[in-house]
Amino acid sequence: MDKTIRLTAAQAMVRYIAAQHNDANEPIIAGVWAIFGHGNVAGLGEALYHTKDTLPTWRGHNEQTMAHAAIAYAKQSGRRRAMAVTSSIGPGATNMVTAAALAHVNRLPVLLVPGDVFANRGPDPVLQQIESTGDGTISANDCFRPVSRYFDRITRPEHLLTALPRAFRTLTDPADCGPVTMAFCQDVQAEAYDYPVSFFDSHVWHQRRMRPDQGELDRAVAAIKAAKRPVIVAGGGVHYAQATADLAAFATAHNIPVAETQAGKSALPWDHPMNLGPIGVTGGAAANTVCAEADLVIGVGTRFQDFTTGSWGLFANPERRLMSINVAAYDAMKHGAAPVQADAKVALAEVTAALGDHVSAAGIEGLKDDWFSKVDPLTDAPADGNALPTDMQVVGAVQRASNDETVVMCAAGTMPGELHKLWKSGKPGSYHMEYGFSCMGYEIAGAMGIKMAQPERDVICFTGDGTYMMANSEMATAAMMGVSFTVVVTDNRGYGCINRLQVGTGGAEFNNLLDHAVGGENSAIDFAAHAGSMGATSVKVSSIAELEGALAKRSEVKGPYVIVIDTDPYPSTPHGGTWWDVGVPEVSDRAEVNAAYANYTENKKAQRAD
C-alpha cells in the first residue's frame, strides 16, 4: 500500500507543482505571481510561504499584468517553462480573464489559480461572491471557461489527484497548449487529506514530437513537386518546435521563399536569402507580392490570422492551394488546407527527405532589395533636428542601438505594424510580439517576463502613451525586484493607430487623439516623472539624436529604464501592406464614408471563402 502524507489541499497543490519538470530537468513552473486576498491568503498563501526558497512567490500590483508577465515568460521560453498566477475571488479573479484570453489566442501556457467561493456554501454569500439566481454552481470564475484550454473547480481536496495531472498535460501538450484555470474553493484550500506520497514524486514531461501521417506526408510532397510558385508562411509554431534551423535548411534546399507572420518573425535572420520578410496587412511588398502570385501556400506553425492573410484577400492566384503543417488539427485544416498534422521540426525533416533534390523554380530576385530601398530611408534620423519624429525614425534609432542580444517587444497600437515591416531581426527569439490578442497593457509586464526568462538578453519594449496609461503598475514591480529592461514611450497624445484607421474608413477624427476628445486639451501627462515615481530611471528626450544618446546609456541602468519621446501621430510606413476587412458603414451623411464604403465593397470581391 502506498504511504500517505496529510496535507492541506493548498499544500498538496504547491508540492505537486514544484515536482513537475521539463525534459531539460528544469521546473516547469518557475514561480508564482500572487496578490493575496481573503480567497487565497490563508490557504495558498500559507502553503507558498513554506516553499518560497524552491518555488518563489512574487508580489505584483495587478492580476492581469502579473499574468501578462507570466505569459511573456512562457513565450520567450519557447513554451518549455511557465509561471502560475493566483488571486483572490471576485475582481482579482476577473482581472485575469483578459490575460487568459491572450494566452488562449496565442497558444501559451499559464497556470491560473483564482480563489473561489466556499464549496460547503455555509457562509454564502461571501464577500465578492457572484450569485446566480438560476444556477447555484456558478461563480465569477466561470468567466474563465471560454478562455481556458483546461478548466476545473476544486471542490474537494482529493480532486487534485486527477485535476493537476490534467492541468500539466495541457500546459505541456504542443497541440493543446494554453491557459489552465483551476478555480480553488477557499475553504477547500485549507482542508486536509491523506495524499499518496508517490503523487509528489518528481515527474518529467517530455516534449511530444508528432510525426506526420504517411498519407498526409505523401500528399504534401506531391503538392510541393507540382507547385510552380510555392511560398512558406512561417508562424510562431516554428519557434515553439525549435525548428528555425530546419526551416532555413528546408527553404534553402528547395528554393522556397519564406514570409514571416508577427509570431514567426525572427524564425530566419532578416538577411537570409530566402526570407522575404513580413506578410499581410503589416507586411512588406516583397513577401506580399510572392504570396499574391503563389500557387501553393505552405503554412508552418501559423494560425492564418486575418492580418496574415489580408482577411483572406492576399492569396489571389486562382490556382492557389493551401497546405498547413501544424501540431493542432484545428489549425492545420483551416480554410480547406491540406493538413500535415505534425511537429514542425519533424515534418520539415521528413518532407525534405521525401523531396530529395527537388528545387522549386520560384524566382525572388530583386524583391528584397527593392523593398528595403523604399523603407530604409524612412528609419533614418530626420535632417531637420527640430521636426517631430515619426515612429519609423524611432524604430531606426533603436535598431541602430541594438546588438546581438537585443529582444524588441511590443503588443498593440502603431508600433506592431511598423516593427513588423521595418525591424531587422537577427537570431531567433529577438522579436517578441503579442499580436494574436493585440492586448494594450501587455508591454511593460511582458518586458519584465522576457527579462526573467532570459536575463542575459537586452530587452527593449516599445509602448505608446495610450497603452502605457492602460497598464503600467508592473513598472514598480520591476523596480522593486531589480529587473532591468528599457521602455521607449512614444507619446503621440492619443491612439494614433486607431485615429488613422478611423480616417481611413471615412470617419472624422473623433475621440482617439486627445486633441479630439472632450477635455483632451487639458491633458498634460509627464510620463518620465510618472515612471520615476515608481522607481524607474527615466528621461524625456526631444529628438532622435537625444534618443540614441539615451539608449547608449541603458547598460548602465539597474532596473527599468524609461525613455520618453514625443512623436507625430499621423505618418506611417506608406509602402507594403494589404487590405484588412474592417466593416465600413453602408449609409452615411459623410462623403468620405461613402467613398470608403465603395472602396470596401471593391476589396471584398477579392476575399476568398475557400
Dump pLDDT digits (tens) for 350-409: 999 999 999 998 889 999 999 999 999 999 998 876 689 999 999 999 999 999 999 999
Query: Measured between alpha carbons, how far is 79 from 484 in angstroms, rounded to an integer?
Result: 22
**561-594 per-position pLDDT tens digit:** 999 999 999 999 999 999 999 999 999 999 999 9
Write down the pTM of the prediction. Answer: 0.97
CATH of 214-365, one of 3.40.50.1220, 3.30.70.890, 1.10.3720.10, 1.10.275.10: 3.40.50.1220
- Cell triple for 5: 502524507
Give the pLDDT score at 102.
98
Burial of 586 (0-12, 13-18, 19+ CB in 10 A): exposed
Give CATH 3.40.50.970 domain extents, the chain. Answer: 4-205, 376-566
Return the minimum-mean-pLDDT range out of 41-50, 129-138, 418-427, 545-554: 129-138
Beta strands per DSSP E along 465-521: 486-491
Which residues, listed in sequence order, are joined to residue 154 by a DSSP beta bridge? 184
Q: Report the percent of the chain where pLDDT is more than 90.
A: 97
Contact 35, 92 (CB under 8 A): yes
Residue pLDDT, tens place only, 330-339: 999 999 999 9
Q: Coil, helix or strand for 557? A: coil
pLDDT, tens digit, 9 for 90 and up, residues 509-538? 999 999 999 999 999 999 999 999 999 999
* Topology of the domain covering 376-566: Rossmann fold (3.40.50)
How many residues belong to the chain? 610
- Residues 487, 540: Cα–Cα separation, whole Å: 12
How confident is the model at residue 362, as a pLDDT? 80
Instruction: Indicate whether 557 pLDDT > 80.
Output: yes
Look at residue 361 in the predicted model and tell me its pLDDT. Answer: 87
Task: Report how far residue 441's alpha carbon sits from residue 246's, in angstroms, rounded to the nearest whole number.
Answer: 34
- Measured from the Cβ of residue 482, the count of other Cβ atoms closer than 10 Å reads 10
Q: Mean of the per-residue pLDDT values for the chain? A: 96
Task: Look up residue 46 and give its amino acid.
Answer: E
Q: Per-residue pLDDT for 178 more than 90? A: yes
The grid cell for 457 is 538578453
What is 288-352 written as a DSSP string? Answer: HHHHHH-SEEEEES----HHHHTTTTS---TT-EEEEEESSHHHHTGGG-EEEES-HHHHHHHHH
Give pLDDT, residue 386: 66
For the chain, the C-alpha Rg in angstroms (whole number) is 25
Q: How far is CA 561 from CA 43, 244, 253, 410, in A?
A: 37, 31, 44, 16
The rounded distance, in Å, linking the Cα atoms of 408 and 393 is 15
pLDDT of residue 363: 86
C-alpha cell at 71: 505569459
pLDDT at residue 344 tops 70: yes
Q: Would you state the pLDDT for residue 4?
A: 98
Closest to 528 in 3D by CA, of 479, 564, 580: 564
Cβ neighbours for 517, distance < 8 A, ≥ 6 positions apart: 494, 511
Can you tell me the distance from the alpha carbon of 350 to that of 214, in angstroms, rounded to the nearest whole number?
10
* Helical spans, DSSP H, in 19-159: 46-49, 63-76, 91-94, 97-106
Q: For the domain bounded by 4-205, which CATH number is listed?
A: 3.40.50.970
User: What is the Cα–Cα distance from 93 to 129, expressed in whole angstroms?
Assistant: 11
Q: Is the pLDDT of residue 263 over 90?
A: yes
pLDDT reported for residue 1: 61
CB burial readout 194-223, b (16+ within 10 A) else e: ebeeebbeeeebebeebebeeebbebbbeb
* Spatial contact of 432 and 55, defined as CB atoms under 8 Å apart: no
Residue 157, phi-psi category: left (phi > 0), alpha (psi -120 to 50), beta (remainder): alpha
190-204 per-position pLDDT tens digit = 999 999 999 999 999
- Rounded to the nearest angstrom, the gap between the alpha carbon of residue 428 and the centroid of all alpha carbons in its chain is 15
Per-residue model confidence as pLDDT tens digits over 129-166: 999 999 999 999 999 999 999 999 999 999 999 999 99
pLDDT at site 75: 98
- The DSSP H or E segment spanning 260 is strand 258-260
Whether the bond into 125 is cis, omega within 30 of 0: yes
CB 265 within 8 A of CB 431: yes
Which residue in 399, 454, 395 sits closest to 426, CA to CA? 399
**pLDDT tier at 84 (50, 70, 90 boundaries)?**
very high
pLDDT for the residue 2:
81
**How far, in Å, are 110, 159, 254, 482, 486 from residue 65 at the CA level?**
13, 29, 44, 17, 17
Q: Tell which residue, 464, 235, 227, 267, has the closest CA to residue 358.
A: 227
